[in-house]
Structure 1
Amino acid sequence: MSKYTRRTVTSWIAGGTIAAAAMCAFVPSVSAQENWDEVVAAAKKEGKVVFYNNLQPNGIEPLLQKFREEYPEIQTEMIRLGSNPLIERFATEFNANRHLADVLITFPDERIYEGVKAGWAAQWSPPEAKNFAPELIEDNTLFTLQQAREALIWNKNLVPAGEEPKEWTDLFDPKWKGKVGMNPPWRSISIQQIVAYWEDKLNLGDTAQKLKDNDVRFFEGSGGIIQAVIRGDVQLAELTDLPLNPLLEDGAPVGFVYPESGTTLSSNKAFVAAKAPHPNAAKVFVNWLMTAKGQEYLQQYAGLSATRNDAPPLTQLPATKDLKNAVDGETVLNPERQAKMVDHWRTTFGVK
């Protein structure tokens, strides 16, 4: 699926020519200015990497442990937040000239792209970049490592066979009143994208009011959502599928469906901070995440479909290419729509 959106095409034209931009995708894997062995040696001397992320909470430490096993000289420190507060935090720190993060991974919105223009991200070429499709690497600053999809899930012990939800409209069905859960849109960009898809592409109307009328319950993050379903706090929910695969592997009583009316796809992207306090360790860490082993561990512990050319499929979930009408979420949400949506949902639910 191409992710060359209006934004990226416009930025290419503004920078010169599309042909020039296309050439950027074929930068050698290690630049002439940088010897990778020297980068690794410098990273070991720095001895630390600070990692801002929105990965599955219980998978972050096992992932970092695998990195430390390969690079025991580099210790790890991490901050995990939802995509929206994570971007806000990085922006606030950058604007205050407080450069604390080395690496950031999140689902981006327009603020990330504007931030890259403003100097948030280092431009460099990881040795492992050759193993990724060119469209997954943007101007050698943003690297798409994984992809998430929006799904409906339910508790198989509470929802009778034959009554499982099949479409997004089930979230608004009065028979599920008080039994529906979701992540609030003001917390997550991926949720904002699926709401825009519901309202603008599927013409489902004011979904905030419909869900309020159906006594929707909000939980923090995908991990909170799926645990609420497993506990029986709610019976069905909208979910960004990042925690789903590992829990299905563990035998969790959870059913799932990607509605045939379509769903949105979110790309988890990484960048090395341009003013990282540990710039070499940051590069080593991001490059490790792009290796075959790093991608395997990301998929195993973070639960999302990895993007490396030779990455194996998830064990329990279909590949993105096998989903009907999987739409790049960035194409359905612009800054104006985003701000209007968040304000409307906060107002509808009385959240300041």
Structure 2
Amino acid sequence: WAGKMVKGHPAYSGTIMTATFQIVRDLGWDYLEKLSKQRVMQVQSSTDPPKKLALGERAIMADGNDYNVVMLKEAGQPVEPLYPSEGTPTISGPTAIFASAPHPNAARLFQAWLHTRETQQFFTDFTAQYSAHPQVTPKAGRRKLSDIKLMKEDAAGVEKMADEIKTRYARLFRV
């Protein structure tokens, strides 16, 4: 598959930085060293690898978001999301309210609405993203989150290793 893969660059994307940290922690730098020898196209965002698949510019994405691949598949594109048995990086999308929010009660109401079963189900159905809400179910034909072996998030670990990851990654991939 040399020259046929695409991957996001961790120096440009927090999502890719988090995924790269989890891969290094769980699989070691050897994985990325081997991958770097495959002439992998480098892109910036986690949304870019699925776009390169859709355009036919690459056949495999080594990382990126799965929800766009699911959407491409459902639109009839010849793609298939695969989840490694070693584990799939986990990237959560947290929400918060600023302590200095000008309308804190409105912000609390928005947060309450955002995390209802109905709203979370809507996002799951129409964006192919996963929800931690226990009553939300994936659309028919989509994989359940519980069926995917997930790598564990560690925001403090990412922060601690970010500079090392950027430097070593740039050296390995010559970018």
Q: TM-score range by the shorter chain?
A: 0.7 to 0.9
Q: Secondary structure at the match of 1:329?
A: coil
Q: Contact conserved, 1:181 with 1:234, CA < 8 A, in 2? A: yes
Q: Does 1:214 align with 2:38?
A: yes
| Displacement after TM superposition at 1:332 (Å) | 9.1
C-alpha change, 1:290 and 1:197, in structure 2 (3 Å) is: closer
Aligned residues: 174
1:232 to 56, 60, 64: 56
Distance 1:344 1:231 in 2: 30
Distance 1:245 1:321 in 2: 17
Aligned 1:23-42 pairs, distance under 5 A: none
Match of 2:116 in 1: 291
Q: Which letter does structure 1 place at the counterpart of 2:6?
A: G
Match of 1:196 in 2: 21
Distance 1:221 1:301 in 2: 21
2:96 to 241, 249, 271: 271
Q: Contact conserved, 1:197 with 1:332, CA < 8 A, in 2? A: no
How well do the aligned residues superpose, as a CA RMSD in angstroms?
A: 2.5
| Displacement after TM superposition at 1:255 (Å) | 1.4
Cα shift readout 1:283-339 (whole Å, capped 9, x = no counterpart): 222222112221122213332111222112244432222123x22122893422222
Cα shift readout 1:182-238 (whole Å, capped 9, x = no counterpart): 11112333323433343332235161x544432211223233211110111111002
Aligned 1:1-16 pairs, distance under 5 A: none
Q: Contact conserved, 1:185 with 1:191, CA < 8 A, in 2? A: yes
Q: Contact conserved, 2:50 with 2:64, CA < 8 A, in 1? A: yes
Distance 2:174 2:2 in 1: 19
| Displacement after TM superposition at 1:348 (Å) | 4.4
Q: Does 1:251 align with 2:76?
A: yes
Match of 2:164 in 1: 340
Consecutive unaligned residues of structure 1, counting only runs of 5 or more, are 1-175
| Displacement after TM superposition at 1:258 (Å) | 0.6
Structure 1 or 2: more strand by fraction: 1
Q: Pick the structure with greater CA Rg.
A: 1
Q: Contact conserved, 1:305 with 1:314, CA < 8 A, in 2? A: no
| Displacement after TM superposition at 1:347 (Å) | 4.4
Q: Secondary structure at the match of 1:306?
A: coil
2:146 to 305, 321, 340: 321
Q: Contact conserved, 2:53 with 2:59, CA < 8 A, in 1? A: yes
Aligned 1:129-148 pairs, distance under 5 A: none
Q: Indicate the percent of aligned positions where both proteins have the same amino acid.
A: 24
Q: Contact conserved, 2:70 with 2:80, CA < 8 A, in 1? A: no
Distance 2:20 2:42 in 1: 15
C-alpha change, 1:244 and 1:271, in structure 2 (3 Å) is: same
| Displacement after TM superposition at 1:262 (Å) | 1.7
Q: Does 1:186 align with 2:6?
A: no
Match of 2:133 in 1: 308
Q: Which letter does structure 2 place at the counterpart of 1:266?
A: I
Match of 1:49 in 2: none
Q: Which letter does structure 1 place at the counterpart of 2:93?
A: N
TM-score where L is the length of structure 1:
0.44
Q: Which letter does structure 2 place at the counterpart of 1:239?
A: G
